[in-house]
Amino acid sequence: MQWINTRVSELKESATLAVMARATRLKAQGNSIVDMSTGEPDIDVPEHIKEGAIKAMRDRKNRYTPPAGIIELREALAEKFTRDSKIKTEAPSVIVTNGGKQALYEVFDVVLEPGDEVLIPAPFWVSFPAMVQLSGGVSVIVPTRAEDGYRMTAAALAAKITPKTKALVFNSPSNPCGVAYSVDEVKAIAEVLRVHKNILIIADEVYEKITYDGFQFESFAAIAPDLADRTVTVNAFSKSYSMTGWRVGYSTGPREIIAAMIRHQSQTTSNINSVAQYAALAALRGDHQFQRDMVANFDARIGRVMQAVSKMEGIDIPSKPQGAFYLFVRIEELLKRDPKRFAGSTDVANFLLEEVGLAVVPGEAFGDDGAFRISVGSADDVIEGAIERLGRVFG
Ligand code: PLP
């Protein structure tokens, strides 16, 4: 009996989580593994956030919460959207979700009809196409070029729009390339979308606080306020507060869509872990210096890895990311040099793991087989270990 339906049988495991699991397994077996695959910051959750959770438990906040989240957190998030993102919103239009991931999945699930097309610029975060597939939609990849800094141009976007296009996923700063779009670039993209009135914009801003060299992040819906009534903005505590395991994300957008997401959530997960919601509230209300320190650390690590890689052969990082905490390392030269051994990025990633115990994520998973992704979220000694191991192979 074939129990698994076709929709899910075709679903692949998240490549980033799979690499992480493999590295953890090899480590547990006693191998020396340097893991550069993880999409999470190394710093521990700040004490005031933990205290928020402990206090919540002691205050007996251990019950179901409303499906959309506790009202204090929704109000604080509405305030944050209005203050930081310049998106005017109110608590009823805010939903607290199980990580940014659940917010994204819910949006796809509540808006897509079978066969609807979703535009996704490549390289993309691994889960976008998988979620679209789960929701019955069809991903349409908008190509970008490394030479252009992986930036989606208005022309490239326009070329992929069809009468079936239902949504655009706009991830800035992006995973895996760290592309952070300037106001002018966003305006050009908005200009295209203005003409096509039936396209929903799904703005994934989970890396908004992680930018470099003075880049001032501005939200899509703030740059194009006339499109705010068809923009859903997704954010999360995972990356910017180093709270990946707590699973708290949030979203705002058109009231009708948020209301549908709340209904969806009420029938699937009921609510987000109540204690984690109080921790998130403490995070918003607390001191944010750790965030600036964390970003400064990422910046220094990016500098160290880029400098080391610039002296290596067969691999290349063409430009510094403007945001997020990943480096997308080009391997075309290596693939050209040894095509029998390396047919693509997965072969290279397997080779690095098996030969020098270095875990990286193959670019294939992000829609670009000519690269692999490393994360500088790992601790300094892990970064040094990675540089040393990369040097053993490419030095
Ligand atoms: N969006 C992007 C671009 C990401 O890289 C990630 C996590 O890697 C997420 C969303 C989901 O984050 P969360 O852990 O909050 O679900």
Tokens of 123: 């390289």
Res 204: pLDDT: 98
Res 21: pLDDT: 83
Handedness of CA 36, 250, 173, 84 (dihedral sign): negative
State mean pLDDT over 38-66: 96
Tell whether omega for the bond before 123 is within 30 degrees of 0, i.e. cis.
yes
The label of the residue with tokens 């790992």 reads 378
Q: What is the pLDDT of residues 152-192, one digit of tens each?
A: 999 999 999 999 999 999 999 999 999 999 999 999 999 99
- What is the architecture, at CATH level 2, of domain 6-44+289-394? Alpha-Beta Complex (3.90)
Task: For the beta carbon of residue 151, count every other beta carbon within 10 angstroms.
Answer: 18
Res 304: pLDDT: 97
Residue with the nearest Cα to atom 12 of ligand 1?
100
Q: What is the pLDDT of residues 258-286, one digit of tens each?
A: 999 999 999 999 999 999 999 999 999 99
b/e 105-119 (16+ beta carbons within 10 angstroms → b): bbbbbbbbeeebbbb
CATH of domain 62-285: 3.40.640.10
Q: Tell me the best of 217, 238, 251, 269 to mutate to test the pocket of ligand 1, counting ligand atoms within 8 Å of each CB and taking the most.
A: 238
When the pLDDT of each residue in the chain is averaged and rounded to a whole number, the result is 96
Handedness of CA 205, 98, 376, 299 (dihedral sign): positive
CA of 394 to the centre of ligand 1 (A): 31
Res 61: pLDDT: 97
- Whether the pLDDT of residue 14 is over 90: the answer is no
Res 228: pLDDT: 97
237 - beta bridge partners?
none
Which residues approach ligand 1 with their CB closer than 6 A? 39, 99-101, 125, 171, 175, 204, 206, 236, 238, 244, 249
- Whether the pLDDT of residue 38 is over 90: the answer is no
Work out the pLDDT band at 6, boundaries 50, 70, 90. confident
Res 235: pLDDT: 98
Question: In the chain, what are the domain boundaries?
Answer: 6-44+289-394, 62-285
